[in-house]
Amino acid sequence: MKILHSVHPDDFKTYQTDLIRERFLLSGLVKPDELNCVYTHYDRMIVGAVQPVSKTINLENYSNLRADFFLQRREIGIINVAGDGEVIADGKTYQLNKMDCLYLGKGVENVSFSSKNSTQAAVFYLLSCPAHTQYPTRLMTNNEAVKVKAGDSLNANERVINKYIHADGIQSCQLVVGLTILAPGSVWNTMPSHVHDRRMEAYFYFDLEAGQKIFHYMGEPDATRHILVDNYEAVVSPPWSIHSGSGTSNYSFIWGMAGENLDYSDMDVVAIKDIR
């Protein structure tokens, strides 16, 4: 499992594009019949993905966790972003269609992933962080998620925010997870930008058409940089960094956070005029 160490904002200002990509961009997460995870030193969040095509894939333990099994001291949020699939957790089967979310709490020992149809394989995106207590397993379909309409077409940011794991939804220790779907003709997410010193965040971009790109902006609000991101790639955002994207077409993305609280609205908004 690849490990990403924390970066100080003063050091970040000296980074060129290649180094920014190396320290923050998570590529190669989605590969057929593989589980791929990255351990970050931002609130100990693990970001990963699994695409079971021809076989069932287990959530394996990693030696650097120093645990008897993956979720011995962790919780995990799982969102399917492709074909219909199944997750089996300690012997119970959960059906996850596209954009459904499953939460597994601390102590769940055996987890496996499979697709219903190998020609339309599921892609499960994973977010895991340390947990201090056990919350019950819960499946939430996309239809059940709290939906908030935001933005408008005039500003190219019309979108629907789907909330899954949060203070008023699926209960967790640290995780806050949801996904945002941009309307056709809209390309901007999370604008105006914000930061939140109390927690980190990761963005996972999906449903981006082939040949298109997303410009992901990060850095302190008065010293921003950008990298270009492809479909099925994620970006880790430190607490001091903005996290905004603009695509060459519309797309969807999963946002996931860990840190001090479960309050979705806990953010320090940066006015557009103050971004540099």
Question: CA angle, corner 107, sides to 101 and 111, nearest 5?
Answer: 50
Mean pLDDT of the region 216-244: 97
3-state DSSP call for residue 61?
coil
57: part of which helix (H) or strand (E)?
strand 57-58
* Terminal-residue alpha carbon distance, the chain: 35
CA dihedral for 124, 255, 152, 170, sign (positive or negative): positive
Looking at residue 5, what DSSP letter applies? Answer: -
- What residue numbers bound the domain in which 8 lies? 2-274
pTM of structure: 0.96
Q: Is the pLDDT of residue 148 over 90?
A: yes
Among candidates 16, 104, 87, 7, which has minimal Cα distance to 52? 87
Task: Calculate what percentage of the chain has a pLDDT beyond 70.
Answer: 100
> How many structural domains comprise the chain?
1
Averaged pLDDT score across all residues of the chain: 96
How many helices, marked H, and strands, marked E, lie in the chain? 2, 24
CATH number of the domain encompassing residue 30: 2.60.120.10
Task: Calculate what percentage of the chain has a pLDDT beyond 90.
Answer: 96
- Place 85 in a pLDDT band, splitting at 50, 70 and 90: very high
Q: Is the pLDDT of residue 263 over 90?
A: no
The span from the CA of 125 to the CA of 248, in Å, is 23
- 91, 110 in Cβ contact below 8 A? yes
Q: Which residues contact 211 (CB under 8 A, 6 or more apart)?
A: none
